[in-house]
Chain A
Amino acid sequence: MKRLLAVYAVCAYAFLHIPLLILAGFSFNASKFTVWQGFSLDWYRAALADRDLIESAVNSLLIATVSTVLATIIGTLAAYALWKRSSRLFAGSMYLSLVTPEIVTGVSLLAFFQWVFRFMNLRLGLHTVILAHVSFSVAYVVVVIIARLRTFEPVLEEAALDLGATEFGAFRRVTLPYLAPAVAAAAMLAFTVSIDDYVITSLVAGVDSQTLPMVIYALARRGVNPMLNAVSTIVVVALGVIVLISERLRSA
């Protein structure tokens, strides 16, 4: 049975990884068609010269950076407070935001923004995308930080308080340093979910805030294009590195 399981696992891993490997392989293909005609970096050159792609990638990086910083700060504070004393209301609403179908989150945020715009002279744009991203990535941060806090000894904080630290001082100089790896890991996860999101982003983005996934999506719908393979390969490798580092930090 053990051997059979191992054989099965090889097949399952092949199923999970081979489609992406093939996709990446063909990004180096000299031909435009799915026939191998020799190695070439032309599609990478084409991707890097494409203005839509570059502009949207810059937007995506900007949105991901700002929303990651905000979500990490808000989420870390929230996780600490909820660890002190849990709250069913907060735990429930975090959980709800993690499991709400993306399309529902997207349309409800769209409806919300349009409703707010009745009273304010604003339009959809980078700011609405950033707000949406902070909103859906905060729960990931809370989950990661709370997991780390479960291994923290509260006596360490009590010792700091006994020695004259203020509550905030104890948090900043004792608990926060302990949480540092988890905070970094959480930030990386928030960054990946932000840079990767299409469904919610496409609903709340304005004309000047196209993100990389939106451009990829539009290209994919138009059909297969080797340039898209090149972009995909870059994104997958970059995200993969971030995820692996984040996993390391979490298990450290």
Chain B
Amino acid sequence: MTRLRRLFLMPVATLMFATVFVPLLIVAVYSILTRGAYGGVESPFTLENYSRLFDPLYGSIFLRSFWIAAIATALCLLLGFPLALFIARSGRRKNLYLSLVILPFWTSLLIRTYAWMFLLRDTGLINTVLQAIHVIREPLPMLYNEGAVILGLVYGFLPFTVLPLYATLERMDKTLLEAAADLGSTPWETTWRVTIPLCAPGIRAAAILVFVPCVGTYLTSDLLGGSKTILIGNLVQNQFTTARDWPFGAAASLVLMAVATLLLLAVGRRGEELV
């Protein structure tokens, strides 16, 4: 068996080595090199790229990214938990309700983000309607700000929260709920004092699974945040394209990667089974 197994693992091992491991290694090396005169990389080795990340200008980008991701994650949990609870208790129709969450989960994030541009911009549907019924005279500036980015993230990642929360709720021992009810607890009390504490590990895992992509977002903040809401993802992209400062971009992406990995290690095995 071991020979066949080794043969079967060969392609994936080659692929992972060449397209995951080596590229990350290159980025790690670039992050301690100096920017070249024409945008490439040059020796000598330096840690300056990392110390520049502490510059208030870039530090604020990091803080803003964490802050926005934290708010989006909190909102996702708050909105996602009741929905997961509803699906878990919906009996026969469960599969239909689940499909309605899975469908947007796999549909184009780009197009779903564009849908909000269509709704939020100055001549978008919401402003047009509000002006037509004379609620407002000037269009409300709803697009290109932090609020729009948070809305886009919640919209994009709500299904990410619902699915693991639903999986946790499904696994829960339901007799405990009956026990609580028998002992005189109201449904609200049971949810608050039995269901939620029992689901705490699942909630924690869901939070991290949403927080990580939110912190590293590029598309949502670029389309809905405009040029004013620069997040880590946009900083990295900019350094590798327009600014052509690869060493600095490499340092920023390694820090982002480190944050993501550390958080996900905290979910550990629990996260693996949720994927």
Contacts and interface: CB of A to CB of B under 8 A. Distances in A.
Interface of A: 1-2, 5-6, 8-9, 12-13, 15-17, 19-20, 22-23, 26, 33-35, 73-75, 77-78, 80-82, 84-85, 87, 90-91, 93-104, 106-112, 115, 131-132, 134-135, 138, 142-143, 167-168, 171, 189, 192-193, 196, 198-199, 203, 213, 216-217, 220-221, 223-224, 228-229, 232, 235-236, 239-240, 243-244, 247, 251
Given A103-B216, A199-B219, A23 B15 contact: no
Contact of A101 (B9, B155, B216): B216
B1 A192 contact: no
Main secondary structure of the interface of A (DSSP, over half): helix
* Chain B: number of interface residues, binned into ranges: 35 or more
Contacts of A223: 121
A95 B218 contact: no
The 7 closest A-B pairs by CB, nearest first: A101-B216, A108-B23, A112-B23, A78-B12, A135-B19, A81-B8, A77-B8
Contacts of B183: none
Interface in B132-171: 155, 158-159
A6 B97 CA distance: 11
A216 B112 CA distance: 12
Interface of B: 1, 4-6, 8-9, 11-13, 15-16, 18-24, 26-27, 30, 79, 82-83, 85-87, 89, 95, 97, 99-104, 106-119, 121, 123-125, 128, 155, 158-159, 187-188, 191, 209, 212-213, 215-219, 222-223, 233, 236-237, 240-241, 246, 249-250, 253, 256-257, 260-261, 264, 271-272, 275
Given A16-B104, A99-B264, A111-B23, A104 B11 contact: no
Given A87-B9, A109-B19, A220-B114, 20 more contacts: A9-B97, A16-B101, A17-B104, A23-B111, A97-B20, A99-B260, A101-B215, A102-B216, A103-B237, A108-B23, A110-B240, A111-B27, A112-B22, A135-B15, A143-B275, A193-B106, A196-B110, A213-B108, A220-B110, A232-B108
Contacts of A19: 112, 115-116, 118-119, 155
A1 B128 contact: no
B220 to A, nearest CB: 10
Contacts, number: 247
Contacts of B216: 101-104
Given A93-B20, A107-B253, A217 B110 contact: yes
B275 A34 contact: no
Contacts of B104: 16-17, 20
Nearest to A232: B111
